[in-house]
Chains A and B, each alone.
Chain A
């Protein structure tokens, strides 16, 4: 997927609110998120990642690289 595809999602109101990755972000994703103002946190520890489930509310602070599960609804 190209960097412009991420930008296109943003312009068309279809972009994710944030992107969390367990791996290192690649250059395409990082640059696409940068111009689209999509918070991106990478290399999240896998245990935390798998603790997230559909329906949970997650706060992402990309500047501080903090991902916080604030509301468990199930």
Chain B
């Protein structure tokens, strides 16, 4: 990859060590993705915010990095481990390290959004704008639904983009890579968000291309289904985009009921759960509207934690949704997400009920708790009684 004279200077450290590190990262990923140059990006969304995901070395790295680096473009960040405004029963070590990470991102000048659904909160740049998103569901959703251009960035490459305002011009930033060679076509009817999650998991796991074709029959996916599909594609593979576009040269892979049952059997490791966890990705306003309607006049019979961004929570509060959901027994956690939160561990819960394929994967593999996968309507039907 060719760098400009100014970029070379920054790589050599003439503008400080943090920028040198950032250009070293961009050069490495540019070489790996066969980019010829760097291009400006309008927005970076950084992962690597939860202490569980970056550990002590990450805490120290960010503390040092943030002493001199400052973001030069809009930069939003992923969820952390818990809700800052609530007293949570976590170790002092976790709390201190997590707050150190939050301070570092604040020092860097990021918008401390603590959200994995930035696309539901912030103004979306015009179609065709290049961005640098490290959160996989946000990358897939933004490429596929919003027409933004981003590769599946890593925590470090999005961080590098945030302080340089640049990203290598490669893969999904280029039009020629944004067309599917393989289309996945389910041979059954999809109804719920869970159906779309399972289809996405199959597609991401089966096709290793940057862009997958999905032909699920619907003309326009609603946001809830598109989120479930995006998150699951991002969980099971490296694909960064899906498209509905079909071409005559495309290979068609059929996804049958049996394939989906196999995936569900793999992720559904419990018959029932002690806790309902909703929000991976974090819930948006439309999901909170749906949840409030589903539990109207009912009372949840199990503890239910709802993960959402603080910005969404504030809006939902104005709309009266928070009161309605809390009245039915729902419990909100802002700033955090079902995935990798230290709030859900084997010590407290044997198994968790969720409608999210992404949550199911991480709860099984990282949190080590059993998972009972059901769609939201079924969860509320089975776990809420009329008052």
Contacts and interface: CB of A to CB of B under 8 A. Distances in A.
Interface in A1-37: 2-5, 7-8, 10-12, 24-35
A24 B24 CA distance: 18
User: Which of A5, A12, A42 counts the most chain B CB atoms within 10 A?
Assistant: A5
A2 B32 contact: no
B28 A4 contact: no
B239 to A, nearest CB: 12
Contact of A31 (B53, B56, B157): B157
How extensive is the interface on chain B, given as a class?
20 to 34
A59 B9 CA distance: 30
Interface string A23-60: 01111111111110000101000000000000000000
B154 A3 contact: yes
A8 B156 contact: no
Interface residues of A, number: 23
Contacts of B29: 27, 30-31, 34
Contact of B57 (A7, A27, A40, A42): A7
A35 B32 contact: no
B274 to A, nearest CB: 29
B31 interface: yes
Given A31-B28, A35-B24, A11 B154 contact: no
A4 B47 CA distance: 10
Contacts of A32: 154, 156
A55 B273 CA distance: 49
Interface string B102-130: 00000000000000000000000000000
17 contacts: A2-B48, A3-B157, A4-B54, A8-B55, A8-B56, A24-B32, A27-B151, A27-B153, A30-B28, A30-B31, A31-B160, A34-B25, A34-B28, A34-B156, A35-B24, A40-B28, A40-B32
Interface of B: 21, 24-25, 27-29, 31-33, 47-48, 53-58, 60-61, 151-157, 160, 238
Given A31-B157, A32-B154, A35-B25, 8 more contacts: A3-B155, A7-B156, A8-B55, A25-B32, A29-B32, A30-B31, A31-B156, A42-B32
